[in-house]
Amino acid sequence: MKNPLLNTGEIGIFALGGLGEVGKNMYIYEIDDQIFIVDAGILFPDEHLLGIDYVIPDFTYLIENQDRIVGLFITHGHEDHIGSIPYLLKQVEIPKIYASGIAVDLIEYKFMEHADIKVPQIEEYKSYYKYHFKDVEISFIRMNHSIPDMFGIVFRTKEGILFHTGDFKIDLTPVGPPCEFDKLAAIGAEGVLCLCSDSTNAERDELIQSDSKIGKSINELFSRLTGRIIIATFASNMYRIQQIIEAAVLNHRKIAVFGRSMERAIEAGTQTGYIKIPKDTLVSGDQLKRLRPEQVTLLVTGSQGEPLAALSRIASGSHRQVQVMPGDTVIFSSSPIPGNQEGVNRTINKLFKQDVNVITHGPLADTHTSGHGAQNDLKLVLSLTRPKMFIPIHGEYRMLRHHRQLAIDTGVNPDNILIVDNGQVAAVSKNSIRYAGDVPSGEVYIDGTGIGDIGSKVIRERKLLSEEGLFSIILSVDSEHKKLINHPTIISRGFIYMRGNEELTNKLANETKAIVETELNKKFYNEQNIKQTVIDQLSKTIFKLTQRNPLIIPIIVDSKSF
């Protein structure tokens, strides 16, 4: 069924995730009634999403239009671009997944964890491959990022060329293969109708350092340190992992790996050739005891302060195999993702308490660089591709606004730039770009094995419980004779300590008894009405007495049911 928001000759471009946020990237290109999906990522929850494991896009539009889906095209293997693929496949039939290099391995690992999904064919593309669909040709441009095999996607259509950059930065001395600048210039000379470009660092007017420079800095650090080195980085940063391995080998250190995602990344990187590690360099946790401190490097997860990651458990003393000792140096080869600073600080403080040296990225040590281009990088891609129209993607709203200005600075007509939110459809034709309307979008919460069964109401209740506590009243009633059998029983969790607050609990129990007896004496007995009246009246009394708003749960036990 054709998208009713689009006119004849218009291409629909919109996101189900990735706009107004950094994460859960999923972009949709509707061309000649065909749906091309680019990426399917997750968002890691912040502290207000209590108990939630991941946030994924709302797939409603794809469920309703799955007969028009051509395929899922993956730009690279980061979680915010591939993490929701298993959940997508549980709800939507995808004919084929197109991915390249390390992304293929990482996606296949995901499928091993989700045995209940129907796995489509994975087509592994190379940078020179081209795929032809109805009036659409898709090709690829290699870009540089913090993970290997990052590709921008080129859509050649009857209306013109669309270019989706994916995540990128300009690295003139990259660790891996170089960016294909010639292809960027070629599509620019041919004429790009619309560019959709990464906005993550659009606010930063600075030089993003080359990954190769970070490798030299890490090697220099290793050469100066004498005790054990514990180094944490993103498991997905293959280039950084290889640099750490090389620094350890050069400085005659053995490497022990801790953290499941790190172990998996090294396995995938070894299979694809991006990680090369001498056989005798890798040791198990049990072998560490036989080595002197200056012979040891521990490569661990937990660079973002995740509570269950290896470094967090080492810092808190709860790791089964590793305990820190004086003389250890912990290196954070990463920068905190927005929202994670508190967790990182907590881990660092625990390490300092145990007399451990801690090195983070800063003026004294280059231990990390961003995988996303700053303003000059973004302007270079704009200048090379020379788009007629522009949609900034992948970023919070302020980042999108900054990127818009960069596009204007490089010559894009302001009338041809559209900033949209998730679900808002941009309709692009040869001569115009317009906001066409909305499709269903939003957030779906993954909690354990549940998909979408946790809504905003449950999150509000969890927040209320964490801040205000629980106040429960158990009422035994005889509905047949319309009377209360026993005095109300009160249970409090996280609200007040029962012992020592007998006066308050007795007052609330007596008020509850009066409320219930009044309700029971009414002509029509309704259990739900009694519960709601208890909640309404007690909440006022409790707030007046304590200035607190606990979650009030009345439980009615009817003798008729015995």
12 three-state secondary structure: strand
Of 31, 477, 461, 394, nearest in space to 200 by CA: 394
Helices 260-272 and 102-113: crossing angle in degrees, nearest 10, is 140
237 three-state secondary structure: coil
* CA atoms of 503 and 57, how far apart (whole Å): 50
Contact 89, 120 (CB under 8 A): yes
DSSP code for 172: S
Place of tokens 């012979």: 295
**214 burial class (0-12, 13-18, 19+ CB within 10 angstroms)?**
buried
Q: Which of 149, 198, 366, 447 is catalytic?
A: 198
**212 burial class (0-12, 13-18, 19+ CB within 10 angstroms)?**
middle
- Tell me the H-state helices in 169-321: 181-190, 211-224, 238-250, 260-272, 310-316
φ, ψ of residue 151 to 5 degrees: the values are -130, 135
* CA atoms of 385 and 383, how far apart (whole Å): 6
Contact 352, 386 (CB under 8 A): no
* CA atoms of 295 and 474, how far apart (whole Å): 63
Contact 445, 52 (CB under 8 A): yes
Residues sharing a CB contact under 8 Å with residue 94, sequence separation 6 or more, in sequence order: 37, 69, 71, 72, 88, 120
Residues sharing a CB contact under 8 Å with residue 22, sequence separation 6 or more, in sequence order: 80, 200, 337, 338, 394, 395, 396
Q: Which of 164, 361, 368, 372 is catalytic?
A: 372
372 is a catalytic site residue: yes
Contact 445, 437 (CB under 8 A): no
403 is a catalytic site residue: no
Contact 13, 425 (CB under 8 A): yes
The catalytic site residues sit at 198, 372
